[in-house]
Structure formats: structure tokens, C-alpha cells
Structure 1
Amino acid sequence: MVNTITDTNFNFPGQKSIYKGKVREVYTLEDDLLLMVATDRLSAFDVVMPKGIPFKGQILNQIATKMMKDTEDLVPNWLVATPDPNVAIGKRCEPFKVEMVIRGYMSGHAAREYKAGRRILCGVAMPEGMKENDAFPEPIITPATKAEMGDHDEDISREDIIKKNIVSEEDYLVLKDYTRKLFQRGSEIAASRGLILVDTKYEFGKTADGEIVLIDEIHTPDSSRYFYAEGYEERQAAGEAQKQLSKEFVRQWLISNNFQGLEGQTVPEMTDEYIETVSERYIELYENITGDAFAKADTSNIQERIEKNVLQYLNSL
């Protein structure tokens, strides 16, 4: 098996603190800089799996970097540099405590809620008579409160977000506008690659000077669901499952092995063979989403490589 990076404990010059999320580890540096390491950890149903997936961190970081560059004319973002395949450096922000989830199609969580008979999701009505993977008449925004590591994100309505003062109404209007613009651009990029951007989530923060910017990842297979456009209509008409590009295949594997992150459930064993297939799927995702061939980074000593590249960048400032 290829080496993976599942935990870091760097001590960079000017380092103030470290925060460990489900997949990313964020180092706060002086001069209002944040350094984000995308690890190879895999999270599903808000549970971090026991083994890392080779190249997953590199894939997520490089897709997010490319998509940030492809949308920076629409929405300002936090990114300043990517000195290593697994590392992004950007402006320190105060994150909003909500994830802006937007859905163009009734899939995943929305479909599970719909099947359970619910027609309101995060205060938004879903039309009667829909079937799984149908397009909504127009994309719906279904926010979620951002969980700490190990906790479940929870659905929340726009009204509750404002009433509980999680986000001010003025800021929420900006988040909503940015979310719709990003989803439109993401859908256009996906269409140019023969894909459909089904749903995704965006996270935003506020810089020290009060600017609202896009942070974290964007349009990656961890934050988004994609369908192949070719054959979509035929599969819907025949009532067949859609061919998709996302980590939904991992969720489905876990469900088939009796795991949905519920109390008392145990994560099934992920063999080396299965992990290799997951890695291969992530590489396929990268190449389809970006249109570029994936170049595997040197994994002989990932920690050492990251430290060397980051120090070289910081010393150049």
C-alpha cells in the first residue's frame, strides 16, 4: 500500500495554533495567515474512517485550488498559495457556523428525507410527485449547522439561522447570493466535462477587514455530488440508479455493511484491496472533474515533503 497522511503535528515558524477537522488540519500562523493541510482521512456519515485513502488529500486540495481559481471572478476567496500538493495557505477568516448546501437534484440526504414522507427540508418545500435524482424546478438552499469533529451536521432553516443570530440577515443575503453564483458556475464547468453538478456545499468566512470570502473546499467529490450527463435522462426514465462521481459509493458500501454512523454501529473493516479501489475512484473523480491527468505526488515521506515545501514558501515571504 502507498503511504498516507492521516495526522500532522507540524511546528511552523510563527505558528499560533492548530485545529483538526474531520479531514483538514488548520494551522494559524502570524500575519493573519492560515495553513490548511488536506489529509488522507475519509469521513462518511460524519464519522472518520480508521484508515487513510492514498492521494485523497492531494486530490481534494488540487480540485479545490483549481475551482477557487475558476470562480474568483465571481466570489472572493481565502486562497493565497499552494506550496505543496496537500497544502493551501490563505487569509485567516472567522468562519460562519453554517454550511451553505445547495441542491439542484433530489438526491442523497434530500432523497432520504423525501422517501421518509417529509416535504419540507430546512424550511424549503419540495414538490410532490418527484422521484429520486429528479431535478428540482430550481436549485434549493438547505443549510446545515457546522459540526465539530465527530458530531453530526444538522439541518437548519434560513429563519432559524437569523433568529438564533448564527448569521445576521445582511450577511446571510450575501452568502445566499454567493452560493447561487458559485453553483451556477460549478454547473457550467461540470457540463463542459460531461457531468451534472447535483448538489454541493460552500463554506464562508469573514476576513479581519470584514470581507466575506469563500473558504475551505469547493466542488470536490467530498463536498459535492456529480452525475454523468450521458444517459442521465434514460436512466431516470427507466427508474435506474444514476452513474455518479462522488463519495456516495463509500456511503452505499457502508450502508450495505450495516453502518450509517448511528449509535452502537461499528465501522466495517476496510481491507487494503477495498482502500485501493477507493483511491482509484478518487483519481477517476479528479480526472473527470478537472479534465486533467492526475500526477501522483511523492509519497515516500509525505510529512517531510510538506514541511520542506512549506518552509521554503514561508522563507520566501
Structure 2
Amino acid sequence: MSLADKVLAVNNDLPIRTDKPVHSGKVRSVYWLTEADSARLIKEKGYPVAADAPLAVMVISDRMSAFDCIWKGENGLRGVPGKGAALNAVANHWFKRFKEQGLADSHILDIPHPAVWIVQKARPVMIEAIARQYITGSMWRAYSKGEREFCGIELPDGLQKDQKLPELLITPSTKGILKGIPGVPEADDVNITRQNILENFAAFNFQGAEDIDGYEQLLKEGFDVISAELEKLDQVFVDTKFEFGYVSDAEGREKLIYMDEVGTPDSSRIWDGSQYRNGVVVENSKEGFRQALLNHFPDPDILLNKDRMDERLALARDNELPESMLMAVSNTYVGIAEKIIGEKLVISDNPKAEIIDVLRDTYGLVD
């Protein structure tokens, strides 16, 4: 079996029973179950949700996205071996920790396979909440050009690249294109202030203004849980993205939960602790791949300049990266995942066939 066969690159063509279109993102595909299948599974498996709650099967791929493009490698490599399993394993670990610590639930109800979640439909809060403990990346690039205000927060002069910030910063941005909010451009992923959210909480899908305090508390407490555990592994938790939503519990009460993924090498920056103390940043996250891409192509501005998006998409479409670049990502993702979960990661030889088998035999979702 070739390396390429182990990669789950296409995840929107599984024969899962659904009566709605499959929603496919950069990495995950979502299959909304029929009302009958949702109700049957809730009853059979005893999921702690309302009897008529809509459920979905979420399948993660091994596709590699960066700079808003999907990248491929030579020798038919259409993704990164083990990447999906690593991301799911890490997210599962942190969601479980949050629940154990009494913070909040997640949208995940069941894990039939390392690449699959069964989730409850959530009403997403339309915010990507970025938590930053160190100044690096886009924040450093803007700061080094003289910017001092980020999402309504003033930063002091004199900060150095990659240094720890005086406190954990929450720098939110929009999730999707939101229309009609004063002072907020109608574009995806634009920075917003806490004041923007307070004055327009309903437009961001918050039930009430008091839930803004609630999401910030869950974000800070979640960040602290991950940061403390990573510190024990001599890893530095630099920054991460949180997403939140509302679900109904078995009694029909709405509650704020964590959703999407959290604390993964895709959604966070994680640095090696001993190297950082020696003044060297070694990335244990997607940032390493981004840097490799910037070094690989002769004109890195194509990757950084949003006005050159057509050229960027063509670059990803027309170039096969060296296999060694994608295997370096595999080693990073699998390595950090195994550190975090404390055991060997199970990587499927034939993920698609395994997923179909378990969803047919154990869950009755494949005809």
C-alpha cells in the first residue's frame, strides 16, 4: 500500500444516509442525518440531548490548508498522513478536559472512528475568538509597523518579537460575512472590538449581552487548562482560536458550548519550550508549514497579499510540493498529538473503508 492510499483526501463522497447536501469545509465534511436516524441514534445510544435534536456525522480529512488554499504533494499525495486523526485526537482530549473541569460541553456526542465525530447541531456564535499569550505572527507584523491598537486593546511600546504579553489578549474577528453592523466591514475574518460585540450582540448570535462575559470566561479558562497541561510537556501555548455555539440539552434548555476544534496544531501555535528558552522558535503547529511554504516559493508576497488571491490559488493548483514537506507536517502533527494524549496515535491504512464499515455495522447509517 502506498503512502497516498493512507491519506483521506476526499471526505464528501461517503455513502452516509442523508437528505441534505453535504457541507464540505477546508478540512471537515458534515453529513446531516435524517430526522429518523437522528431520533433513532439518540434513543439507541442515550445521547444527552432533546429527542428531536438534529445530529450530523462530521468526517475529518487529511487535506492540508494554509493561506486559504489546499496544497498537494508529489507521488499522488493529496494530504498529510495522520493529520486528521491527530487533529481529532487532540481536540477530543481538550474537550474532555474542559468537561472534567466543569467548564462547558462541546458539540461532540460520540466518536465512532478516529476521523469521525457524531455532533449535535449547534447555533454558532459568529465570532472567531483568538486568544493570544505571546506577540507573534500577524500581530507582530502590524506592531512592528507601528500599530498599537488591536481589536480595541492598546499595547505598550517596547515589546519584542515572540515575547510573552503582559496578559492574555482576546482579539476576536468575524466568522463569515456579517451585514448591517455599524463599524464592522462586510467581509469574512475582520477584526472587531468587544464594544462592537456588546452593541450588536444579537447580530453575532449571542442570546444576551451577559453571554459575552460567559464566552470570555470559557475562553480564558479553556486557554489556561491547555496552557498548564502543555507546560508540563515543556510546550508553550502561544495562541489559539476558539469557537462557540448554543445547543439544547435533553430538557430543551439552551447552553453555550465549545465547538469546531480547540487547541490543535491547525488552530493554535505551540512552541517547543526548551528551544524557546534558548531564543529559538520551533513550531509544533501549522505555522511551521506556513513558513516552509514562504521559503519554498520565490515570491512569498503571493501568499501574504490578499490582493493576489488568483495567483495564490493557481500556485496551489499547479504545484506539487516535495513529499518531504508534507511528511514533515505529518511528523509534527503526529508527534505533538502523541505528546498530548500520552499514547500512540492510531493511523488507518484505509480510513474510508473503515469509516464506512463502522457507520454501517454499528450505527446503521450506510445502506
TM-score by length of 1: 0.89
Question: Quick check: 2:85–2:345 contact (8 Å CA) kept in 1?
Answer: no
Identify if the C-alpha distance between structure 1 residues 34 and 116 changes in structure 2 by more than 3 Å, giving closer, same or farther.
farther
Question: Does the CA-based 8 Å contact 2:124-2:205 persist in structure 1?
Answer: no
What amino acid sits opposite 1:293 in the alignment? Answer: K
Please state if 1:24 is matched with 2:28: yes
In structure 1, the partner of 2:291 is: 252
Which one-letter code corresponds to 1:20 in the other structure?
Answer: S
Indicate yes or no: 2:136 matched with 1:115. Answer: no
**1:234-263 Cα deviation digits (max 9, x unpaired):** 31xxxxx41221111111112222242531
Partner Cα distance (2:92, 2:172) in 1: 23
Maintained 8 Å contact 2:175/2:189: yes
Structure 2 residues without counterparts, runs of 5 or longer: 39-53, 73-77, 178-186
- How far, CA to CA, are the matches of 1:174 and 1:95 in structure 2? 15
Are 1:182 and 2:225 matched, yes or no? no
Identity within the alignment, %? 29
Which residue among 2, 13, 17 is the counterpart of 1:9?
Answer: 13
**RMSD across aligned C-alpha pairs, in angstroms?**
2.1
Q: Which has the larger radius of gyration?
A: 2
Q: Contact 2:106–2:259 at 8 Å: present in 1 too? A: yes
Give 1:20 deviation, angstroms: 1.1
2:104 paired residue number: 75
Contact 2:18/2:31 (CA < 8 Å) preserved in 1?
A: no
For the pair 1:303 / 2:352, whether they are aligned, the reply is yes
Unpaired runs of 5+ in structure 1?
236-240
Cα distance in 2 for residues equivalent to 1:146 and 1:93: 15
User: Within 5 A, what are the aligned runs for 1:56-95?
Assistant: 56-72=83-99, 73-95=102-124
Q: Does 1:102 align with 2:131?
A: yes
The match for 2:63 is: 41
SS of 1:49 mapped into structure 2? strand
CA contact (8 A) 1:75 1:182 kept: no
Aligned counterparts of 1:15 and 1:303: Cα–Cα separation in 2:
21
In structure 2, relative to structure 1, the CA distance for the partners of 1:13 and 1:269 (3 Å cut) is closer
Preserved CA contact (<8 Å) 1:58 1:85: yes
> How far does residue 213 in structure 1 lie from its aligned partner after superposition?
0.8
SS of match in other structure, 1:6: coil
The answer to whether the aligner puts 1:134 opposite 2:163 as a matched pair is yes
Partner of 1:238: none
Are the aligned partners of 1:34 and 1:90 in contact in 2 as well (CA < 8 Å)?
Answer: yes
Number of equivalenced pairs: 307
